[in-house]
Amino acid sequence: MEGKLSTYRKIETLGKSQLDLVIQVYDGAIAAFRAASDLYKSEDWQAGYQQLQKAKRFVTHLYTTLNPEAGGVIAEDLGKLYAFIINQTSVAEATKDLSVIDDNISILDNVRLGWLELKQQKTAAAQAASHPAGVTGRFTESA
């Protein structure tokens, strides 16, 4: 079963833009943090810890795939933010403090919204470029 799931995940990522993949990693991290919070609330410490480890892997992936040359100051700032989240995740693992997990979710949610806005801007720009002003793409009959 795990092999089929792995194959499905590989196929699911093929054809996605880099931006879509970044958003997908954010979604995974946020989902893992939420699961950890729910598990800690029900005092399932081991499963909660495992979800925090999963979330940490997602955020570590975001951190290690930053491109400082291309991203400049934004990449540098994101790197600091990811390092902070990774550190806070270790704090949450040690203390089981739900507010730390909630803070991580909030931070990632806010940054994810920024990525979604960027995606919308790129989509709008691509649509505008493919349909120049005044061209509707419809044929009209001339008299």
SS3 content of the chain, % helix, strand, coil (to 5): 80, 0, 20
Q: What topology is assigned to 17-120 in CATH?
A: Four Helix Bundle (Hemerythrin (Met), subunit A) (1.20.120)
Domain ranges of the chain: 17-120
Contact 59/85 with Cβ under 8 angstroms?
yes
pLDDT tens sequence for the chain (143 residues) = 666 555 545 555 566 888 999 999 999 999 999 999 999 999 999 999 999 999 999 999 999 999 999 999 999 999 999 999 999 999 999 999 999 999 999 999 999 999 999 999 888 887 888 766 655 555 455 54
Return all residues near 63 (Cβ < 8 A) that are at least 6 apart.
79, 82, 83, 86
Provide the whole-model pTM. Answer: 0.79
